[in-house]
Amino acid sequence: MRSVPARSAQSLLPASFSATSATARVNPARQRSGTSRDVRSNAHTWVPENLEKSLVSVEDAHKDSCGVGFVGELNKVPTRKCITDSLTMLNRMEHRGACGCETNTGDGAGILVAMPDSFLHSVLSEEQGIQLPAFGDYAVGQIYLPREEGLRNKSRSIIDRVVADMGHDAIAWRVVPTNNRSLGPSALSTEPVIEQLFLTSHGVKLKNLQTEAQLYVLRKVIERELKAAGIDDDECYFCSLSSKTIVYKGQLTPQQVKVYFKDLQREDFRSYMALVHSRFSTNTFPSWNRAQPMRMLGHNGEI
């Protein structure tokens, strides 16, 4: 995989982003010349004392794994700025991701956000005339479905059956609007159909469990039933199933995320927090379902 030239840590943040200063332990071996202050920390990573004499490339030490970024509003009030700042940060982490022989096929990129409640209420009302329950009383599954129509219908049928069996009510299915014109041939050849399943978050069968625990069990049962029907997670995959968060991701470059997912372009798509990820695939090949963020986190430790 080929990585693009690195950018400075300061350049990752949008121009409008501000943060309080923080104290960090500085590793002299990693200090760059010509900078007034190096605030990189080795608090959560081991760096050889004699870095220049180690097998680690000094030039590549800062760009040898995935890129992860987080933006949050301390007052937990959803804002559009939270989304735009996080997508700007993602775009500026291109050097922490990679692409293959096709410059327009990335190793994977995406964004995890707190449930955009007002947006989802509006869009489901606009598109299907459906009124969602109050925030917390519904959940959304962001799902990769098979490209082949018959298998896709079979997958939906299994999911709907398990949802009903577990005591949840399916509210609606929604096709996630996308624009794949910027995708390379490799990503296009495996591009899934992406749909959202809206359902009640509280099931009667496991009502003794907390909501997110119920949804976790529901997803695991669905995955088991899909596998029993010969449908694996390369064909049907849950990017997320939650009443609190939702994940938009794919085998994309950082710049393609906003272009590909039209939902992210809408002014009423807002959140109070966002986790972004740009993947550098090392031990595994790039794929749509290996893109991050994952359902609850994003990491950069694969290498």
What one-character-per-residue DSSP string does 174-227 give?
EEPPB--TT--HHHHHTPPEEEEEEEES--STTTTS-HHHHHHHHHHHHHHHHH
Q: How confident is the model at residue 23 (pLDDT cuts 50, 70, 90)?
A: very low
The domain total for the chain is 1
Element (H, E) at 142: strand 138-145
In a domain, 115, yes or no: yes
pLDDT (tens digit per residue) in 101-139 = 556 666 778 889 999 999 999 999 999 999 999 999 999
Q: Is 23 within the bounds of a domain?
A: no
From residue 30, give the alpha-carbon distance in Å to each of 5, 23, 39, 93: 18, 16, 10, 19
Residue 151: CATH number of its domain: 3.60.20.10
Q: Residue 189: pLDDT band by 50, 70, 90 thresholds?
A: confident
Q: Is 5 a domain residue?
A: no
pLDDT of residue 32: 45
What is the structure's pLDDT at 266? 95
Residue 41 lies in a domain: no
Residue 191 lies in a domain: yes
What six digits make up the tokens of 66? 């995935």
56 falls within a domain = no
CB burial string 171-187: b at 16+ within 10 A, e below: bebbebebeeeebbebb
**CA nearest to 139, candidates 171, 164, 112:** 171
Report the distance separating Cα 221 and Cα 233, nearest Å: 13
- 18 within some domain: no
Location of structure tokens 């220049």: 52
Among 66, 82, 236, 239, the one annotated catalytic:
66
Q: Which tens digit of pLDDT belongs to each residue from 73-85? A: 888 899 999 999 8
Active-site annotation holds for 82: no
Give the helix, strand, coil percentages of the chain, each rounded to 5: 30, 20, 50
How far is the C-alpha of 130 from the C-alpha of 281, rounded, in Å? Answer: 40
Residues near 32 by Cβ (< 8 Å), separated by ≥ 6? 38
Q: Give the separation between CA 255 and CA 246, rounded to whole angstroms.
A: 19
Q: What is the mean pLDDT of residues 131-149?
A: 94
Q: Which domain covers residue 221, as residue numbers?
A: 67-278
Q: Residue 248: helix, strand or coil by DSSP?
A: strand
Cα four-point dihedral sign 38, 42, 44, 45: positive
What's the burial of 78, exposed, middle or buried (CB within 10 Å: 0-12/13-18/19+)?
Answer: buried
Confidence of residue 25 (pLDDT cuts 50, 70, 90): very low
d(CA 239, CA 217): 15
In a domain, 162, yes or no: yes
Task: Identify the pLDDT of residue 295.
Answer: 63
Distance CA 191, CA 108 (A): 12
Q: What percent of the chain has pLDDT over 70?
A: 65
